[in-house]
Structure 1
Amino acid sequence: MKYYFAKFTRKRGQVEVKFPDLAGCVTFGKSWEEAYENAVDVLAGWLANAEAQFIKTPSSKKKLEGGKGELIPITVDEKILKNYEASKRFNVSFPANTLTKVDEYRKAKGLKRSSLLLKAVEEYLENHAVEV
């Protein structure tokens, strides 16, 4: 599991969070718990949207120690990271009867059509890997 250290500092009635290795990757919370949850989210969002040259290899705790605040390792949440990935719209054609079945199924499951199709494609790719 990949993780980055975040520096948590209490200031003005809130907890500020900064990732020393990732410029501009900052957040805060009213409590330590909220700050931690926000840190997990902002880390994934930052990594999903940053240009490759700005994503550094995580530093060791020893290298980052010193100064005010507490260093806490924050694991990169792959599920959240995936939610931040950019989507691209495209058109696809299905036979009418198949699309009717898709819509009946997705409505029963409370899904959007695109969410169902994405899950189906991901599952298919996982189970039918192609050697490249």
Structure 2
Amino acid sequence: MRKLTYFAVFEPTETGYSVYFPDLPGCVSFGEDFEDAQKQASEALGLHIYGMEKDGDEIPAPSKTPQVDPETASGYIISPVTVFPNLVRNELDNRAVKTNLTIPAWLKEMAEAQGVNYSKIFQAALMDYLGVNQKNN
């Protein structure tokens, strides 16, 4: 399973820890304490990598020595953060999303009278229409 580890800079603030990844500009996070900051950093890293891959951006190789911004507050901590991009992608691509559809009132009334699960029927019909048995990755 593919695993990526990047160094994060945990910068103390009055209300917790601000987090940034020197190798991934724009990948930032925050936590109310160090433990929360680590959890949030992992989530931010996973989402950032997912977004880059979705956009077709090149994922930079993790550096061995992170470049700490000179304006970083004193007392900062550098710590590795690891994610498994395939697990993140699988979770995000298979999450349930809401969509609207329009059907005639009489059809809705009949379906509700029989306790139809719209989501299940729509998903099965759409997969049949597209000729897929499961989500293609």
CA RMSD of aligned residues (A): 3.2
Q: Which runs of 5+ in 2 are unaligned?
A: 96-122
Q: Which runs of 5+ in 1 are unaligned?
A: 95-116, 126-132
User: Displacement, 1:77?
Assistant: 2.9
Work out the percentage of aligned pairs sharing the same amino acid.
25
Counterparts of 1:1-132 in structure 2 under 5 Å?
1-50=3-52, 51-53=55-57, 55-61=59-65, 63-64=66-67, 68=72, 69-78=76-85, 79-85=87-93, 91-93=126-128, 118=134
Residues 18 and 29, structure 2, Cα contact 8 Å, conserved in 1: yes
Query: Larger relative CO (CA 8 A, sep 6+): 1 or 2?
Result: 2
TM-score with structure 1 setting the length: 0.59
Structure with higher helix content: 1
Residue type at the aligned position of 1:31 = D
TM-score with structure 2 setting the length: 0.57
Residues 10 and 77, structure 2, Cα contact 8 Å, conserved in 1: yes
Structure 1 residues 66 and 16: alpha-carbon distance in aligned structure 2, compared to 1, 3 A threshold: closer
User: Displacement, 1:84?
Assistant: 3.2
